[in-house]
């Protein structure tokens, strides 16, 4: 054996030895974290992501049941990594579009020939249009559940371009919507497959600054409270008929439904037509979770039954509240005179949504039921959805605030924490100071 042979053996050994540390350099996050701030004028929840090359920070309205990420490409979309999805490509079959679209005012992002399209939906105004499916770089912060970590990128993240007019009705400074719904191209699925982590995500909305996580817990809030350990679970139900503003026949809903079986107020059953609580084969009925409705919306007969039961209990012994005139959009309001404060918000009758069994109950306490409209008046934060709405109960943003919700797409399960005040923390208590 001569020296050159030794050298070769040594080189091979060194290569094998180095390989694991190279793998470590291509860092794989276990979860990602984004801030979610409430816009005080529209009551929308706005998150921030970085997209394009060079990276541009984008403010996007967070839509828990939204189908995918869509952004305004008419404005100034400048990126060296923008790629339209070519018709008949794997990307197009992922969204089930076998058509080929042309565009006559391009080429530019959002307007190219031989592309497939999707239907970006402004779920606040219920306006949908067609938009080019495309890919670009997306960058987010990783997390260990305690703090943000290093930034990671997805080089070919699928989204849709939309025309500027689709932004009408969204918060100032926003350039699109971030959909977290149950589709293959919504953020949770794309991020889970890009980084091979659990198909789970969690949302913790706040009246100020909240947080959302992609991937599994821990989800830790100051002072060192691991909220993912404190969840109650209920099945997520699939609505077989799309609830989007525009859709194709046979498309299921991207939104998350849960099985509310009955409602109790101050421990008494509220008489509601249970037929309205189930999702019928035409997609009508049932209960969904929505971050684009600022308050819970109830079908007219459910609204009447719930408000009557609430008023009766609130005016009765134990609370002795004085009802005053309604304040738009609320019909049921009380004088703040006799209202006491507790750890869970003002003391009012608890509203309970009984889920798949009698022991699985989503409890709505004063902090999530009562909205302060002035120094003298507080209102029940539920609104009347009228007769024959598509969905009978839409649990809205105000009722979700300071509750951690975890959506598990693999098992189709919702985990909910109940009001975090009960465990002495809030959704604004994630430590956004980077540990690095």
Binding site for ligand NAG (CB under 6 A): 50, 102-104, 106-107, 111-113, 141, 147, 151, 222, 273, 275-276, 285, 317, 320, 322, 338, 431, 433, 435
Q: Which helix (H) or strand (E) holds 121?
A: strand 121-122
Pairwise CA distance, residues 199 & 192, whole Å:
5
Which of 72, 377, 31, 381 lies closest to 194 in space, CA to CA? 31
Nearer to ligand NAG, 136 or 408 (CB): 136
Least distance in angstroms from the C-beta of 385 to ligand NAG: 14
Ramachandran angles phi, psi of 128, nearest 5°:
-130, 155
Least distance in angstroms from the C-beta of 338 to ligand NAG: 5
Least distance in angstroms from the C-beta of 106 to ligand NAG: 3
Nearer to ligand NAG, 113 or 127 (CB): 113
Nearer to ligand NAG, 91 or 139 (CB): 139
Nearer to ligand NAG, 21 or 433 (CB): 433
- Chain centroid to CA 128: how far? 19
Nearer to ligand NAG, 89 or 151 (CB): 151
Nearer to ligand NAG, 19 or 435 (CB): 435
- Do 353 and 361 form a contact (C-beta atoms < 8 A)? yes
Ramachandran angles phi, psi of 16, nearest 5°:
-65, -35
Which of 205, 221, 219 lies closest to 429 in space, CA to CA? 221
Least distance in angstroms from the C-beta of 141 to ligand NAG: 5
CA distances (Å), 168 to each of 69, 109, 126, 295, 361, in order? Answer: 16, 20, 11, 20, 38
Least distance in angstroms from the C-beta of 259 to ligand NAG: 15
Query: Cβ-closest residue to ligand NAG?
Result: 106
Rg (the chain; Cα; Å): 24
Least distance in angstroms from the C-beta of 149 to ligand NAG: 10
């Amino acid at each position: 054996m001569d020296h050159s042979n030794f050298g070769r053996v040594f080189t091979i050994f060194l290569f094998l030895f180095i390989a694991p540390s190279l793998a470590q350099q291509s860092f794989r996050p276990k979860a990602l974290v984004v801030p979610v701030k409430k816009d005080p004028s529209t009551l929308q929840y706005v998150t921030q992501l970085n997209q394009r090359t060079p990276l541009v920070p984008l403010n996007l309205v967070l839509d828990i049941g939204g189908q995918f990420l869509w952004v305004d490409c008419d404005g100034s979309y400048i990126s060296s990594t923008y790629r339209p999805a070519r018709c008949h490509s794997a990307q197009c079959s992922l969204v089930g579009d076998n058509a080929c679209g042309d565009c006559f005012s391009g080429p530019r992002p959002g307007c190219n020939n031989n592309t497939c399209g999707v239907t970006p939906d402004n779920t606040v105004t219920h306006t949908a249009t067609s938009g080019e499916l495309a890919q670009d770089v997306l960058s987010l912060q990783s997390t260990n559940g305690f703090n943000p970590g290093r930034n990671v990128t997805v080089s070919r993240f699928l989204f849709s371009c939309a025309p500027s007019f689709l932004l009408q009705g969204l918060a100032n400074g926003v350039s699109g919507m971030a959909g977290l719904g149950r589709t293959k191209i919504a953020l949770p699925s794309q991020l889970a497959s890009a980084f091979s982590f659990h198909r789970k995500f969690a949302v913790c909305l706040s009246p100020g600054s909240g947080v959302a996580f992609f991937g599994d817990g821990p989800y830790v809030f100051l002072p060192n409270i691991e909220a993912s350990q404190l969840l109650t679970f209920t099945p997520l139900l699939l609505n077989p008929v799309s609830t989007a503003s525009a859709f194709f026949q046979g498309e299921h809903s991207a939104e998350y439904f849960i099985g509310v079986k009955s409602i109790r107020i101050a421990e008494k059953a509220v008489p509601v037509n249970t037929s309205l609580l189930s999702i019928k084969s035409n997609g009508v009925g049932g209960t969904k979770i929505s971050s684009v409705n600022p308050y819970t919306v109830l079908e007219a007969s459910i609204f009447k039954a719930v408000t009557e039961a609430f008023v009766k209990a609130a005016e009765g012994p134990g609370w002795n509240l004085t009802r005053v005139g309604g304040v738009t959009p609320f019909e049921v309001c009380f004088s703040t005179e006799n209202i006491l404060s507790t750890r869970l918000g003002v003391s009012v009758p608890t509203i309970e949504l009984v889920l798949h069994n009698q022991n699985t109950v989503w409890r709505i306490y004063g902090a999530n039921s009562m909205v302060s409209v002035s120094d003298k008046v507080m209102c029940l934060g539920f609104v009347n959805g009228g007769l024959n709405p598509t969905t009978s109960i839409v649990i809205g943003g105000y009722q979700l605030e300071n509750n951690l919700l975890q959506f598990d797409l693999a098992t189709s399960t919702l985990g909910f924490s109940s009001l975090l005040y009960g465990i002495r923390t809030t959704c604004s208590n994630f430590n956004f100071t980077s540990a690095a």
